[in-house]
Amino acid sequence: MSGETNRLLGMAKEIMAQPDGRELDMLASTGEQVSVALLAIALQALGKQAVSYAGWQVPIKTDSAFTKARIRSIDDAKVRKDLNAGKIVMITGFQGVDADGNITTLGRGGSDTSAVAVAAAIKAAECLIYTDVDGVYTTDPRVVSDARRLKTVTFEEMLEMASLGSKVLQIRSVEFAGNYKMPTRVLSSLTDPLTPLAEEAASGTLISFEEDKNMEQATITGIAFSRDEAKITVLGVPDRPGIAYQILGPVADANIEVDMIIQNQSVEGKTDFTFTVPRAEYAKAVEVLNSSVKAHIGAAAINGDTKVSKVSVVGVGMRSHVGIASQMFRTLSEEGVNIQMISTSEIKISVLIDEKYMELAVRALHKAFDLDSAK
């Protein structure tokens, strides 16, 4: 059934450039309904007891933000009753129902989110998410052939790995797993279907919420990266309170996500303000700045660069180990990679670099932090 939802949405967009969200959700929700019904029938054909549910039948209750709704609550009564009766339960992903009985969809990443949310609602021991990869790696194996699969990652590490470009699980589902402390395992849907369940359930990568890691020791989990970044600099900005908001407010209002932010040291009352946005949003962001910001704040110019990438070292406990940052910077320096911006958090250090050095930087850091050797 792959591509069915996109086919339906394509039909709507042929009719109208920006169709009504409520009707889009009415339309898009049918693809998953077809899938769960056919899957239930297929399981019944194998002699299993199986039952399918649309999100509204469970119900999975959401707010009314059509095409990007948020889950509010899930009633586990029907699902629990069926499971107790030995039935296999299929639930449509990425959709629910609002307080007025309208069908809503959760938007991007909604199917993973639905799975985690239902697992949390029924207090499952573990949520297994079958994907097209067999787990979370220390970095992208397409870039570094020595990349190793991680047996476990913490929730925080997974958040960084996911949001920084290792697109294994959508970040929303990871956040959901975090909020509900739902152990979630990423594993491959492409394994031999005859693999014993116990063996399969021990495979993949478990996103864990157990605090039994030795927090004293810095553990580098992996090297994440995001190729499609863009950098924008607002030059010659008067350095006065509220200037960051005056620049970034209109950008946020245009629904553009801002990531790294730097404000230069002020010189003679003027400063430069630099931030990154997803490369696809670059043109729109520059247009917003030129039309509603530049003259208003008296900036000298707007500059930009769309050939930049972000590389991050991710790991719990790294903040208290100053050696991590200096090792990262030394490694990049030895490879001749210039660092354009730096940002840090409790569990990651990110640098913005020229995109042509991205693979080189990832490989060098993966090796420098011994990620290719099994621990």
Name which of 27 and 262 has its Cβ closer to its own copies: 27
Name which of 51 and 297 has its Cβ closer to its own copies: 51
Q: Which residues pair with residue 328 across a beta bridge? A: none
CB of 281 to its own copies, least distance (A): 26
CB of 195 to its own copies, least distance (A): 23
Those residues with Cβ within 8 angstroms of residue 35's Cβ, 6 or more apart along the chain or in another chain? 1, 4, 92
> Cα(370)–Cα(18) distance, rounded to whole angstroms?
49
Name which of 56 and 225 has its Cβ closer to its own copies: 56
CB of 208 to its own copies, least distance (A): 36
Name which of 13 and 181 has its Cβ closer to its own copies: 13
CB of 15 to its own copies, least distance (A): 5
CB of 57 to its own copies, least distance (A): 5
Applying CB under 8 A, the residues found at the interface with its own copies are: 8, 11-12, 15-16, 19-20, 22-24, 26-27, 29-30, 33-34, 36-38, 40-42, 44-45, 50-52, 54, 56-57, 78, 101-103
Name which of 13 and 330 has its Cβ closer to its own copies: 13
Name which of 3 and 101 has its Cβ closer to its own copies: 101
> Cα(15)–Cα(339) distance, rounded to whole angstroms?
47
The string of DSSP codes covering 24-74 is HHHHHHHHHHHHHHHHHHHHHHTT--EEEE-GGGTTEEE-S-TTS--EEEE
Q: Which long-range contacts (CB under 8 A, 24 or more apart) does 83-87 make?
A: 83/122, 85/49, 86/49, 87/49, 87/50, 87/51
User: What separation in angstroms does the CA of 337 have from each of 75, 262, 305, 307, 332?
Assistant: 53, 19, 17, 14, 5
CB of 25 to its own copies, least distance (A): 8
